[in-house]
Structure 1
């Protein structure tokens, strides 16, 4: 049998790599010569024509991984043919295996960014030639210690609790899958506890603060309109920034935005209020950006803070705070949590449930249950 690495063109300018197991040929019942072949698709997708140095580097890594898988399959064939003991499966390096899983997430659009961010820390901790068969519980504990004590952000600060939680989870997910696929001889995660997820503060504006903000002067009118539009609709910066007029539909029953979320790639149909639509201004060419001139950077981030100070707001407000504001205002004004979850484009309702802590009316009532004391306050 001949085992070869092959490729075929797919959409988005990529190739799909696969192995061909050629077993010869035969004559079928109709007298036609047929090839006897099996295929294994590797779920590796290099670019057909990489142009940047980063694309070329990633292509090289992808092909190197494919060649290593090819070598493993050839070894497995000869082990079976000559009845050799199969002890080579775990000899793939952990980093090669992790990269393969990461690329699968890219094609499935499933949390690729977190897998990529975690990889940068795993590479700093894990020796490049560390093989799956050599991974043990101490290695797993060591990575947890590294995240806790040594790992730093790009700004050279310690990782946040949520970053530790996320990166260690990706690390564990790779090892869990390796164990399932029999690359690992034991479950090295069985006695290692992960990080607790931290609960981050979600800064938002109250209705009165938002009203004050609408009256205050902002140096950049486009930024002001985009921010308030986000407060009223819940759209993320990334979706507002790329919004085109072709995605804005003015219909008999009202206006809505039909767009594909940049973060999740989910197609959304979002009705917007009349005042929200007015913030978009006059329609131009269908291919034009709605908020032309909007840019992400330190200048606009600083202006949001200045704008808030002019409105008498001392909270640390970012553009993402507008999304939090939308969620809180909807819940405070009677929207059910399922509707809010759908409008925000959350995949899981538990993500939306975090906002219920902010507007918990029962907790507000409990604060005033104890009768007032006859108390002199100095």
Structure 2
């Protein structure tokens, strides 16, 4: 592989410095030669027509780019001849994990899991631990800590899915460290991870939701937002941040065009006439649809009190409204692919959990008929 320092002129009068990794060429099935190149943009810039003041600064920038080029070439040589990189083995593991966490900042849900895993690693791992200190016993020790020693903020044992998630983040960090030369060998081969647990998804039946709509809720905005979630499947974060610019009233009906907070994916969601009525009269485009909605213990407690007034004993949270939407759609004939798309799931297997709930209800229905006296 050949690594070169390249320059690209930009429209703003600057020159972008980047590295080209040339990995050779091959002839495709049509007889055309294809060249394999990868690029690393250094985010370093020099002037196209430097002034006398810029020349010295540009020389320093070029020198820095050439030093990075030398480091990349050295990394390739170390990998080719299996030369141990002593510098990388002395990097502190927690610092490395922190860096990987920050790289995932724009992925909100994923970032939160990495942050939670790091908090537990700080309790288990000594701050001075470097990659040369990491072995199979270290990995097994962290797994045992998650399984038997780790506690939540409420001093409870971690759920099965929390163990599964945190250990997976830990494994992902070690895998990346091995691929980038911080570890000499893959230590994960002999360590089995946690099995993923199937979380209970509390939901409301149609009759329970009907009872809830008739019951008094102290906060009308909370009641409307919760029922809106039951009818649309939208998450709390998307409902809370929804502005009138995202609500489109069209000839064929109404729909919400928004960027999903959890996945950052652009979504186009048609809503029923009844769901649209819950939004009320259109306001200015920048104004939030559900003004005054707050997330916290006070509103969560009111949801439980509201359920009690409706005669419901289930432990319902705002997120239960999303589960309710999925179950009601499937019960009333929607196919699982459509439900998956409406909920914004990336994988169909996430939606299949709701299909299992419906199967259980079918089994329950088999015993509804009173026993015959034979």
Normalization by structure 2: what TM-score? 0.76
How far apart, CA to CA, are the structure 2 residues paired with 1:310 and 1:346? 33
How far apart, CA to CA, are the structure 1 residues paired with 2:82 and 2:144? 40
How far apart, CA to CA, are the structure 2 residues paired with 1:342 and 1:334? 15
Q: Secondary structure in 2 aligned to 1:246? A: helix
Native 8 Å contact 1:152 1:159 kept in 2: yes
**How far off its partner does 1:106 sit?**
2.2
Q: Which residue of structure 2 aligns with residue 265 of structure 1?
A: 264
Q: Which residue of structure 2 aligns with residue 211 of structure 1?
A: 210
Q: Which residue of structure 1 aligns with residue 282 of structure 2?
A: 283
How far apart, CA to CA, are the structure 2 residues paired with 1:362 and 1:309? 23
How far apart, CA to CA, are the structure 1 residues paired with 2:169 and 2:177? 12
**How far off its partner does 1:371 sit?**
10
Q: Secondary structure in 1 aligned to 2:257? A: strand
| Alignment of 1:149 onto 2:148 | yes
Q: Which residue of structure 2 aligns with residue 87 of structure 1?
A: 85
Native 8 Å contact 2:143 2:167 kept in 1: yes
**5+ unaligned residues in a row in structure 2: which ranges?**
1-16, 21-38, 44-66
How far apart, CA to CA, are the structure 1 residues paired with 2:109 and 2:300? 29
Q: Which residue of structure 2 aligns with residue 293 of structure 1?
A: 292
Cα gap change, 1:84 to 1:345, in 2 (>3 Å): closer
How far apart, CA to CA, are the structure 1 residues paired with 2:90 and 2:41? 20
| Alignment of 1:331 onto 2:330 | yes
How far apart, CA to CA, are the structure 2 residues paired with 1:186 and 1:267? 40
Cα gap change, 1:202 to 1:362, in 2 (>3 Å): closer
Summarize deviations over 1:59-88 as a string: whole Å, max 9, x none: xxxxxxxxxx98x949958x98xx996431
Cα gap change, 1:42 to 1:311, in 2 (>3 Å): farther
Q: Which residue of structure 2 aligns with residue 253 of structure 1?
A: 252
* Structural RMSD (CA): 3.1
Summarize deviations over 1:307-352 as a string: whole Å, max 9, x none: 1111111101110000000000000001011110110011111111
How far apart, CA to CA, are the structure 1 residues paired with 2:176 and 2:309? 53
| Alignment of 1:162 onto 2:166 | no
How far apart, CA to CA, are the structure 2 residues paired with 1:232 and 1:242? 18
Q: Secondary structure in 2 aligned to 1:293? A: coil
How far apart, CA to CA, are the structure 1 residues paired with 2:168 and 2:161? 10
Q: Which residue of structure 2 aligns with residue 221 of structure 1?
A: 220
Summarize deviations over 1:346-378 as a string: whole Å, max 9, x none: 111111110011101795278449994659xxx
Summarize deviations over 1:240-285 as a string: whole Å, max 9, x none: 1111011100001100011111111111100000000000000111
**Greater Cα shift, 210-219 or 272-281:** 210-219
How far apart, CA to CA, are the structure 1 residues paired with 2:83 and 2:179? 20
Native 8 Å contact 1:76 1:86 kept in 2: no
How far apart, CA to CA, are the structure 2 residues paired with 1:285 and 1:40? 44
How far apart, CA to CA, are the structure 1 residues paired with 2:254 and 2:262? 23
**How far off its partner does 1:181 sit?**
2.2
Normalization by structure 1: what TM-score? 0.75
Cα gap change, 1:20 to 1:98, in 2 (>3 Å): same
Q: Secondary structure in 1 aligned to 2:249? A: strand
- Note the 1:58-77 alignment, pairs <5 A: 73=71, 76=74
